[in-house]
A and B are shown apart, each in its own frame.
Chain A
Amino acid sequence: MRKYLLLNKAVLVVLLAALTVFVFDSGAIATADTGPMEQLRKSVDEILQILQSEELKKPGKKEVRKQRILDTVTGMFDFREMARSSLGQSWNTLTKEEQEKFVNLFTNLVEQRYIGKIDSYNNQKVVYKKELVKGDKAMIYTDIVDKDLEIPIVYRLQENGGKWLIYDLKIENVSLIVNYRRDFDSIIRKEQFAGLVEKITKQLEKGETSN
């Protein structure tokens, strides 16, 4: 049953690191100010500030709060790369317009997952364990401590013009992108790409009404 947790916990990490203690493992590779781990931490801090802001908690500010969180989340991920690899082989069979359309749908789908997690922030602690950097790729190892359990989360990032962007993450060994690929694949095989687009659109509408 623990696996149901997995992807959701990943989502937590970005939203939740707020009141967290950042414990750097003594063995961790020394990080420059602009290193990937530092950048991830900054973005997470930013989200936490929004979450904790008393001003933004006022009822009339709900939409502003949501939008500001979304803006920050959007700046952390390489959605185009994620969308591409979540489709696997099918990506290459699409026209330019279809690809653009899919990137938009995919972005909204991931954002929906994050937004759904906002209210469950409950002082979870994030431990940044280590970062590995090789050329323009990086991996960041973290643990999120939730209800006295340590859940390992590993991020994969790619540098793009000095900015490190997340393109996949693994929670307890489950890769978000691989999981999306399987999910999408199961739809594409039966209903082709058009069916997938329709399903995602419907999913997003459902999320709109429930939020």
Chain B
Amino acid sequence: MMISANSHLKKGYVLQAGVISLFLLFITAHAWAGADSQPENGSQTGPVTVEIDAGVPNAEDAVWEEEWEAPKAIADPLEPLNRLFFHFNDKLYYWVLKPVARVYSGFFPEDMQIVVRNFFDNLRTPARAVNSLLQGNLQDSSEEVARFALNSTVGILGFGDFARDVLGLRSSYEDLGQTLARYGAGGGFYINWPFLGPSNFRDSLGMLGDSYLHPIIFLDADWGVIIGAWTFEKVNYTALTLGDYELFTETALDPYAAVKDAYQQYRNGLIENQ
């Protein structure tokens, strides 16, 4: 009982902190935009429109206009701390996650791992629906709602991606970080979180905001359940991608810098492709 009450209290604080930070973010968004990687009108990064029906000459020209140039380097005032946490996550991967994922793979074959991944992915759909809506994309939003409704029922708790496989409804993977970017918020400085990995100021707030639309938080589960679910998802993900982290970081000369850049390019791509 005590623990439960205590955890509610903590969640309340986290929520308040989130709201206050979001407010601050909006105020300071423009100040950051200058010191940040965000392409102003996509003038820095090549807008790689992966639209198959980009038959319009103008759209095609836009794709060709620029080579893929590096975006302005992301500000990293916390670099020493970030590197420390990068090192921590690296050790966490090799010493804990990887061995656990190996054992896990022995019990859960790949097909099961995909089912587990789909289940957790489905839980993020409500947040995607809200963010598509916030970005003014009614169609994407309704598609996410349809995906959630169908996959949670016909897809049996999200175990299968019925909406995609049968109806061709694909997720647009929107999140609050992208919504904030859409309203002009810059990424802010780079943050490499322990456990959570690469992020930036804006996307960290986005992650926090989105978490309140995650069913497990929404339904007010205990912290133990939340952490347990998170760990399970992480181990399952690691099992599905064994070897990828190693090859990427081991073939980079400065793995920290390579991961930081990959994060920035990946996020910019998501933001531009809406």
Residues in A lying within 8 Å of B, measured CB to CB: 1-9, 11, 25, 27, 88, 109, 112-113, 116-117, 120, 129-130, 132, 134, 137, 139, 141, 147-148, 152, 154, 156, 168, 170, 172-175, 177-179, 181-187, 196, 199-200, 203, 206-207
Contacts known (A1-B237, A8-B248, A170-B48); A132 close to B60, Cβ less than 8 A: yes
In the complex, are the beta carbons of B68 and A116 less than 8 A apart? no
In the complex, are the beta carbons of A3 and B198 less than 8 A apart? yes
Residues in B lying within 8 Å of A, measured CB to CB: 48, 50, 52-53, 55, 60, 63-64, 67-70, 73, 110, 113-114, 161, 197-198, 234, 237, 240-241, 243-245, 247-254, 256-263, 265-266, 268-270, 273
In the complex, are the beta carbons of B258 and A179 less than 8 A apart? yes
Contacts known (A25-B52, A132-B63, A168-B68); A147 close to B110, Cβ less than 8 A: yes
In the complex, are the beta carbons of B64 and A113 less than 8 A apart? no
In the complex formed, the residue of B with least CB distance to A168 is B68
In the complex, are the beta carbons of B252 and A139 less than 8 A apart? no
Q: Choose among A109, A168, A185 the residue that contacts B251 (Cβ–Cβ < 8 A).
A: A109
In the complex, are the beta carbons of B261 and A179 less than 8 A apart? yes
Interfacial chain B residues near A185, Cβ < 8 Å: 257
28 contacts between A and B (CB under 8 A): A1-B237, A2-B266, A3-B198, A3-B259, A3-B262, A5-B248, A6-B248, A6-B266, A27-B55, A113-B251, A120-B243, A137-B64, A154-B50, A156-B68, A170-B48, A172-B269, A173-B48, A174-B262, A174-B266, A177-B68, A181-B70, A182-B261, A183-B258, A185-B257, A186-B254, A199-B253, A206-B250, A207-B251
Interfacial chain A residues near B263, Cβ < 8 Å: 3
In the complex, are the beta carbons of A173 and B269 less than 8 A apart? yes
CA distance A174 to B198 in the complex (A): 15
CA distance A7 to B250 in the complex (A): 12
CB distance from B47 to the nearest CB of A (A): 10
Contacts known (A4-B259, A156-B68); A174 close to B249, Cβ less than 8 A: no
CA distance A210 to B237 in the complex (A): 25
In the complex formed, the residue of B with least CB distance to A175 is B68
Q: Choose among B48, B68, B234, B252 the residue that contacts A183 (Cβ–Cβ < 8 A).
A: B252
Interfacial chain B residues near A173, Cβ < 8 Å: 48, 265-266, 268-270, 273
Interfacial chain A residues near B262, Cβ < 8 Å: 3-4, 6-7, 174, 179
Q: Choose among A4, A156, A170, A199 the residue that contacts B244 (Cβ–Cβ < 8 A).
A: A4
Interfacial chain A residues near B64, Cβ < 8 Å: 132, 134, 137, 139
In the complex, are the beta carbons of A183 and B253 less than 8 A apart? yes
Known: A8-B248, A179-B258. 9 other contacts (CB 8 A): A3-B262, A7-B248, A7-B262, A116-B247, A117-B247, A130-B52, A173-B269, A174-B262, A174-B266
CA distance A3 to B203 in the complex (A): 15
CB distance from B146 to the nearest CB of A (A): 19
Interfacial chain B residues near A183, Cβ < 8 Å: 252-254, 257-258, 261
Most buried by A among B52, B251, B268: B251
Interfacial chain A residues near B113, Cβ < 8 Å: 147
CA distance A186 to B259 in the complex (A): 12
Q: Choose among B70, B259, B260 the residue that contacts A178 (Cβ–Cβ < 8 A).
A: B70
CB distance from B237 to the nearest CB of A (A): 6
CB distance from B158 to the nearest CB of A (A): 13
Interfacial chain B residues near A112, Cβ < 8 Å: 251
In the complex, are the beta carbons of B70 and A182 less than 8 A apart? yes
Most buried by B among A7, A152, A168: A7
Most buried by A among B237, B245, B252: B252
Interfacial chain B residues near A130, Cβ < 8 Å: 52
CA distance A7 to B69 in the complex (A): 17
CA distance A7 to B243 in the complex (A): 12
In the complex, are the beta carbons of A203 and B48 less than 8 A apart? no
Interfacial chain A residues near B60, Cβ < 8 Å: 132
In the complex, are the beta carbons of A172 and B254 less than 8 A apart? no
In the complex, are the beta carbons of A203 and B261 less than 8 A apart? no
Interfacial chain A residues near B253, Cβ < 8 Å: 183-184, 186-187, 196, 199-200, 203
CA distance A184 to B253 in the complex (A): 7
In the complex formed, the residue of A with least CB distance to B68 is A175
CA distance A154 to B114 in the complex (A): 25
CB distance from A157 to the nearest CB of B (A): 12
In the complex formed, the residue of B with least CB distance to A169 is B68
